[in-house]
Structure 1
Amino acid sequence: MRLTPLFPALAALLIPVSHAATDAPNIIIYMVDDLGWNHVQAGKGTMGTTPKRYQTPEIARLAADGLSFTHAYSQPNCAPTRAAMLSGQYPARIHNKVYVVGSLNRGGKNGKFKGPEQGEDVDAEAITVAEALKENGYATAHIGKYHVGGHEGGEATLPEKAGFDINIGGGKQGHQGSCFASKPKNGNKWGFKNVGYGAFDKYAAPYTDEYLKKHGFPAELKGTPKHVSDAVGDALEETVATLAKGDKPFYIQFHTYAVHGPVKARPDLFKKAEARVPTGHKAAGRMAHYLGFIDSLDLNLARMRKMLEDPNGDGDTSDSITKNTLILFTSDNGGTHADNLPLKGNKGMLTEGGIRVPLIACWPGTIPAGTVTDNKVHSVDYYPTYLELAGNKWTPPADTHPLDGTSFADLLKKPTLEDDRDAIFFLFPGYLDTRATPSVVAIDDIAGKRYKLYYYYEGNRWELYCLSDDQEEAKNLIKEEAEKAKTLSVKMLNWLNQEHPTWKPSFPLIRETGKSAGPPPGL
């Protein structure tokens, strides 16, 4: 059942709960939409693979001040990742049936199988991470794209009913309808068409001298339509200023619309980006817009860190909350607007290019600066990590809402810790156009190296790759490393066959009979 809200009114956010007497940090998760693993400068986090055209100085500074993860994994596209982070569970749990955006039959008409029915919302009966953090004394806010509420679950699954004291723009919407504010021909109020249910319209007025000067933006923007990234940044500033006044630690989901399509950059950022597009690029204009869109999210990171340093904006940093705030920067899936080389594939695929994402953690004074780890983490790991940082004063009941993830709180403080996380798993029981067919994946370390095992229902086929030696996934080792493949297949089947009242994995359906295909056969 939904937990009874601890904060029935927004004003209650400012009631003291002895935050000063605890070590629980503020937490901001900055999640970008559709940003590729190496489409940013993230120090050693991208293992030296970032192309020169991607120049993100603020993200690079965040990496220099914090910890970069080389092997952070999401679900293969946006809604499943958001559901996993919100619930702390894989989509095989009864309260999280979000395997893909929309339907599990987006393709595969001639396939041997059919995708089963699925949901698009985290169930109202789930205990969300926001609800759990509220039980631990946190104030909570969501800004931007939500996507996992308001479908079949109705209003009961929207952010304001799922534990968020503040909700700016969150609902069932999957992307922004426009990138620039506009004004109706016969009206005088600026707004963003089909963006966040009108929540960002209060920030939609054209750029003014005062605004441009405050943020260091070029004067040439004066009087031009506001870009959606700047409006989202305005909402963040307002939210941080509000929550920083209280004595509760806070949790903010800052889920920006960038860089999901439509991909349109602010004019000045587009002009700067044009010079970074490789000569002879087949779609130079499109690439310039993509690079400029990435630049806008980099600028929002600068605004975020400035706000944490001076929450009330009076120029006096004595009220800084920087050292008591954990920033996590990541993406909801692999890139889709440009290649992810050397990683194979893109958004929607279970290859590395579809599921490996950037992750940087910054908490000055607590996380060692300029560090890097190759420990593997997954979207389901954030929930238990937050609870541990909050002190685990309250955790969800294991019988009704078990968490599938593993906390990486200790790793944040000691990045040299050995990777003791169990295998990471993926189950995809349907079809996603040409990108994905029914399959199961396991990733784990064996004998000091990282291996990835695939089972494809179509063709009853197994594949094995050593990511430590072959992150391009070019050489199938299923025959040469049969014992390692068998070891991983046992872990995969144990995961699929676990017994728990909440564990109900959906398998592909055999097209001819309509019966479940069940788990893969053992190796």
Structure 2
Amino acid sequence: MYLINSSLRLLPVLLLSIIFFACEQKVGNTISPPNIIVFFTDDQGYADLGVYGAEDFETPHLDQLASEGIRFTNFYVPATVCTPSRAGLLTGQYPKRSNLHEAVLFPYSEGGLSPQAFTMAELLKGAGYSTACIGKWHLGHKDEYMPYNQGFDTFYGVPYSNDMDNYYYKNIDFQSPPLPFYENTKVIENGSDQRYLTKRYTEETVKRIKNRGEKPFFIYLAHNMPHTPLFASPAFEGKSKNGLYGDVIMELDWSAGEIINALKEEGIYENTIFVFTSDNGPAKGSAKPLRGKKAQTWEGGQRVPGIITWPGSIPRGVVTDEFVSTLDLFPTFAKLASTKIPEEIKIDGMDISAFLMNPKNENLPERPFYFYARNGELEAIRLGKWKLHTKKSIGWNEKSEGSFLVSLYDLENDVSEKTNVAELHPKIVNKLTIMAQEFDSSLQ
């Protein structure tokens, strides 16, 4: 009888202990800094993914990823081409603030992302993260601009686009070298077999995950594909009904699958933020139903596929039309990594962490987004459902279409930008024109 009574007296204590332990574990998982992977493809269009309407090839791993997090239908990048888009992602600023808003860097370029710029890697490294850049850099190939001088502990990849491999630039009589392949500060190859770039980057990423050490990690995986020239490994050649382009996308999907499997095997998938997106619209692929493509400020040039997952904290199976851009990743990661951006740094993105945690009940505020063309000029602005084009350098043929007229589109009802309604809404045209001019002038 004494034993029974003792057990009964101890039962509340045992129950409280179990509850406390469970809560402690939950809190621990919540406050533990999440690992972060940014899976960044090159020239992959809005419709070049199964869940966005891809045709004649499959992307089962990325489709599954979308089902396990949030898929965005209004996800943007701040530029129509490689260099400025990457600058925007890594700084949280419009590329004009970095003076990298015109065209792209070449093997003969002398400049790059200033060492004084504050990058996402520097932010996270300061918060105790290990940082790795794997793949394509394209923010300056001179030593002072390279990833290892921009906050990345390690670099494994190439300094610029794969089409700059041994390319002759007639206009300046310059012969670029065979594409150099770096491991940290050393060139370990020249003119690598590009069929294996996707595979090599994937294997390096998996290796980093499996040998991560005690720190949380940030991996910026910037694939070269599907930028032209296109290459797929022999294992994927002929896999799709969409020719080599489809093969390339299917191998990128495989890459994502391998990385996700590694995270699961290591037991860290639940506490890893995985971001999938592209640096700009397609050169060879599809942006349906959007108008335009790479290098153009039509929607197809800057609206891209965007998926964010964090299984332990972000709800599953959400599709949202809330406006988000890669500029938002910088302040969002700062919040989720429990660190702060220096006050003197001007950030153009916004922290969307509250929305990610509770997308069904949180709404993001309406805010303007500015579209800078390949020539560095501001060509368009979006605010809410309205998008105003004030000029057009690429993607408009004056010979066949006449002089470009100021054009306003209602993107909620006309996502393909077919019907110019500027004459019907002069006040909106005037408002957006002034906003665009004032913003651009503030960056001078």
- State the TM-score, normalized to the length of structure 1: 0.69
Asked whether 1:299 is paired with 2:286, we answer no
- Tell me the equivalent position of 2:11: none
- CA-CA distance at 1:228 after TM superposition: 2.1
Asked whether 1:165 is paired with 2:112, we answer no
Asked whether 1:87 is paired with 2:91, we answer yes
- 1:228 is aligned, of 197, 206, 213, to 197
- Tell me the equivalent position of 1:73: 76
Residues 195, 372 of structure 1: alpha-carbon distance in 2 compared, 3 angstrom cutoff: farther
Query: Which residues in structure 2 correspond to 1:346-385 (within 5 Å)?
Result: 346-385=293-332
- Tell me the equivalent position of 2:382: 443
- 1:175 is aligned, of 162, 179, 184, to 162
| 1:132 aligned partner, one-letter code | L
| 2:318 aligned partner, one-letter code | T
- 1:121 is aligned, of 112, 125, 130, to 112
Residues 166, 268 of structure 1: alpha-carbon distance in 2 compared, 3 angstrom cutoff: closer
- Tell me the equivalent position of 2:233: 266
- Tell me the equivalent position of 2:60: 57
> SS of the residue aligned with 2:322?
coil
Asked whether 1:155 is paired with 2:110, we answer no
- 2:423 is aligned, of 479, 484, 508, to 479
| 1:71 aligned partner, one-letter code | N
- CA-CA distance at 1:421 after TM superposition: 4.2
Asked whether 1:25 is paired with 2:30, we answer no
- CA-CA distance at 1:119 after TM superposition: 8.1
- Tell me the equivalent position of 2:335: 388
| 1:126 aligned partner, one-letter code | A
Q: CA RMSD in A?
A: 2.7
- CA-CA distance at 1:64 after TM superposition: 0.8
- CA-CA distance at 1:197 after TM superposition: 3.6
> SS of the residue aligned with 1:29?
strand
In structure 2, C-alpha distance between the alignment counterparts of 1:119 and 1:357, rounded to whole Å? 30
Q: Can you list the C-alpha shifts for 1:162-212, whole angstroms capped at 9, x where unaligned?
A: 1001111253x222678xxxxxxxxxxxxxx625247799899xxxxxxxx
- CA-CA distance at 1:454 after TM superposition: 1.0
- 1:321 is aligned, of 260, 264, 268, to 268
Asked whether 1:494 is paired with 2:433, we answer no
> SS of the residue aligned with 1:232?
helix
Q: Can you list the C-alpha shifts for 1:256-287, whole angstroms capped at 9, x where unaligned?
A: 111111112233423221xx24xxxxxxxxxx
Q: Can you list the C-alpha shifts for 1:463-503, whole angstroms capped at 9, x where unaligned?
A: 111111111101111101212222222322332233xxxx3
Moved more, 459-468 or 122-131: 459-468
- CA-CA distance at 1:341 after TM superposition: 2.4
In structure 1, C-alpha distance between the alignment counterparts of 2:286 and 2:262, rounded to whole Å? 34
| 2:143 aligned partner, one-letter code | E
Q: In the alignment, is the contact (CA less than 8 A) between 1:101 and 1:120 conserved in 2? A: no
- How much identity, in percent, do the aligned residues show? 29
Residues 166, 429 of structure 1: alpha-carbon distance in 2 compared, 3 angstrom cutoff: closer
- CA-CA distance at 1:453 after TM superposition: 0.6
In structure 2, C-alpha distance between the alignment counterparts of 1:128 and 1:363, rounded to whole Å? 22
| 1:483 aligned partner, one-letter code | K
Residues 481, 396 of structure 1: alpha-carbon distance in 2 compared, 3 angstrom cutoff: same
- State the TM-score, normalized to the length of structure 2: 0.81
- Tell me the equivalent position of 2:347: 403
Q: Can you list the C-alpha shifts for 1:403-424, whole angstroms capped at 9, x where unaligned?
A: 1111221121112322314111
| 1:292 aligned partner, one-letter code | D
Moved more, 295-304 or 410-419: 410-419
Q: Can you list the C-alpha shifts for 1:78-135, whole angstroms capped at 9, x where unaligned?
A: 1111011111111221x343332149xxxxxxxxxxxxxx985211111111111112
Unaligned stretches of 5+ residues in structure 1: 1-18, 104-117, 179-192, 205-223, 278-287, 312-319, 432-437, 505-523
